Amino acid sequence: MRIVVLGAGHVGRAIVDALYEEHEITVIDTNADRLTWLADRYDVRIVEGNGTTKRVIREAGIQNCSLFIASTSREEANLVSAMLVKKLSGARVIVRTTSVEYLDAWREREIDVDFMVSSELETANAISGLIGIPAARQTDVFADGKVQVVEFDVPDGAGGNGVVGRKLRDAELPVDSKVVSIIRGDERIMPDGGQRVLAGDRIVVIGSPDAARQWSRVISHERQRVDDIVIFGGGRMGTTIAHVLLDRGIRVRFVEGRLERAREVAEEIPEARVFNASAFDSEFFERERIGHTTAAVFALNDDPGNLFSAVLAKSKGVQLTIALAHDQTSLHVYERGGVDVAINPRQVIAEELVRFGHDPRIRQIAMLDDDRFEILDLTVRAESELAGMRFDQMPETGSVIGAIIRNGDAIIPHSKDILRAGDRVIVFVESRRASTVERIL
């Protein structure tokens, strides 16, 4: 496949790194140095120039390409460029943005691109997965957060909690949830009521956010659930994380050093408690009992600051420290310093940009377990043969309908429920059968 990437910054590099072996990649950037740096390391074609002009886009060979990824940090440039590409070619267009507003406009189909990702939101979701559901390996959110798909590792020695070791139909499962896959060694099981979840399994669960949280408690009873968190740094990243966490019922406190910004944050997020204090002020930590909180996120502008503050927080007793890294080296330094989790937002968005959809009806695709499974988010057509059918009468297709979104409400279907045309469904499916499922629904 021919791919054109706009931007040779951190994100562009990460995309090239992930895709260059299998695809023909052309990179556009205004900065010649960055381009030569890339060309020295990867087998890619480079085009120097302004990617928001027709001439440069044509020069990059847009007519013959099938995927265009606008990955610069300047979102307006990304958008202009994407619009031009949409006009000039039939390529699929993916745009990186930092603005949740653009993202909303895209979801409402007012911005005509195929996929749009926000590094802030993706990072916030990743952190929320780590915090709200501590035992989760991977979390995907569907239908504006009403449905979650979560992968758990069932710890060794788990048991005696009404779930592990029991047949699923007898187990005390959290309501509004469903086990859609059990992975045991090399075996992958689409479970029915007769199967059991065992210690050491990896399981995939679909359910409401509440149910997902309960699952984490059921599975990993030794860890405490986080319901209170301190965010250091009230930048855009910090506030986006706060919004996502507040949506999931987690209490948020902010520490922001600049008075002006602290005030803005306090005005923007009434539900959060905002402090105008230094992230390095030991006395402040004591006064506000920061050490009593179970988790803290460090989203300051500079990595050394994040490290210092995280280590200070750790020494005061914070159990889980999550620090954002602005470049790859920081990840190792953080690790040496004792930060529990380091996240590089650019890495997160690069990973997200590498994914893309096949069916235009699919709003979001998550690929689980090295692409062997997929989660599809589709709307049931009126002419679908499954519309109007009871769940226990549906044919075997190697897939599970994990959730239905009907009139804005998420339903976790049981055997007696009936699928209707127009339902939005979240389907867990083996990759090789994905196209079959898309056809049937």
Partner 1 sequence: MKRKSGIEVGAALDLVGGVLKWMAPAFLLPTLVAIGYGENVWWAFVLAGVITGVAGYALDQITGDKEGAAVTPRESFLVVALLWLLIPIFGCLPYILAGGPQLSRPIDAYFEAVSGFTATGATLVPTIEDLDRSMLFWRQLSHWLGGMGIIVLAVAILPRLRIGGRQLLQSELAGPTEIEKLGQTIRETARRLWRLYVILTLIAILVLGFLGVSGIDDEMTFFDAVGHALSVVALGGFSTRTISVAAFSPVTQYVLLVFMIIAGINFLRLYRVLVQRRFDVLARDEELRLYLILILLGSILIGVEVIGGGYESGEAGVRHSLFQATAILTTTGFATADYAQWGPIATVTLLLLMFSGASAGSTGGGIKIIRHLLLFKLVRRELEQTVHREAIVPIRANNRVVDEKALRSLIVFVLLYLLVFAIGSLGLVIDSGRAGEGLSAFEAFGAAAACLGNVGPAFGFAGPYGSFEPFSDLSTLICTVLMWLGRVEIIPVVVILTRAYWRS
* Binding footprint of partner 1 on the chain (CB under 8 A): 259, 262-263, 265-267, 270, 273-277, 284, 287-288
* H, E, C per residue of 187-222: EEECCCCCCECCCCCEEEEEECHHHHHHHHHHHCCC
Q: Which is nearer to partner 1, 170 or 271 (CB)?
A: 271
Residue 333 CB partners (closer than 8 Å, separation 6+)? 303, 307
| 407 Rama class: left (phi>0) / alpha (psi -120 to 50) / beta | left
Q: Which is nearer to partner 1, 106 or 275 (CB)?
A: 275
> Residue 262 in contact with residue 275, Cβ under 8 Å?
yes
The distance of closest approach from Cβ of residue 273 to partner 1 in the complex, given in angstroms and rounded to an integer, is 6
**Residue 339 has which token pair?**
């930060």
Q: Which is nearer to partner 1, 99 or 276 (CB)?
A: 276
Residue 197 CB partners (closer than 8 Å, separation 6+)? 154, 163, 164, 165, 166, 168, 171, 179, 182, 203
Reduced DSSP (H G I as helix, E B as strand, rest coil) percent helix, strand, coil of the chain, to 5: 35, 25, 40
The distance of closest approach from Cβ of residue 120 to partner 1 in the complex, given in angstroms and rounded to an integer, is 22
45 CB neighbour count, 10 Å cutoff = 15
The distance of closest approach from Cβ of residue 275 to partner 1 in the complex, given in angstroms and rounded to an integer, is 4
The distance of closest approach from Cβ of residue 124 to partner 1 in the complex, given in angstroms and rounded to an integer, is 22
Q: Which of the 8 DSSP states describes residue 348?
A: H
Q: Which is nearer to partner 1, 15 or 269 (CB)?
A: 269
| 408 Rama class: left (phi>0) / alpha (psi -120 to 50) / beta | left
Q: Which is nearest to 349 in space by CA: 234, 240, 190?
A: 240
The distance of closest approach from Cβ of residue 262 to partner 1 in the complex, given in angstroms and rounded to an integer, is 5
The distance of closest approach from Cβ of residue 254 to partner 1 in the complex, given in angstroms and rounded to an integer, is 9
The distance of closest approach from Cβ of residue 299 to partner 1 in the complex, given in angstroms and rounded to an integer, is 17
The distance of closest approach from Cβ of residue 99 to partner 1 in the complex, given in angstroms and rounded to an integer, is 22
The distance from CA 426 to its chain's CA centroid, rounded to whole angstroms, is 16
Residues in the chain: 441
Q: Which is nearer to partner 1, 287 or 390 (CB)?
A: 287
Determine the Cα–Cα distance for residues 440 and 378; give it in Å rounded to an integer: 11
> Residue 120 in contact with residue 345, Cβ under 8 Å?
yes
The distance of closest approach from Cβ of residue 259 to partner 1 in the complex, given in angstroms and rounded to an integer, is 8
> Residue 199 in contact with residue 159, Cβ under 8 Å?
yes
Report the relative pairing of strands 202-207 and 177-184 from DSSP bridges: antiparallel
Determine the Cα–Cα distance for residues 140 and 149; give it in Å rounded to an integer: 5
Ranges of H-type helices in 64-208:
75-88, 100-107, 119-132
The distance of closest approach from Cβ of residue 298 to partner 1 in the complex, given in angstroms and rounded to an integer, is 18
Burial pattern 153-162, b for ≥16 Cβ within 10 A else e, equals bbbeebbeee
Q: Which is nearer to partner 1, 246 or 440 (CB)?
A: 246
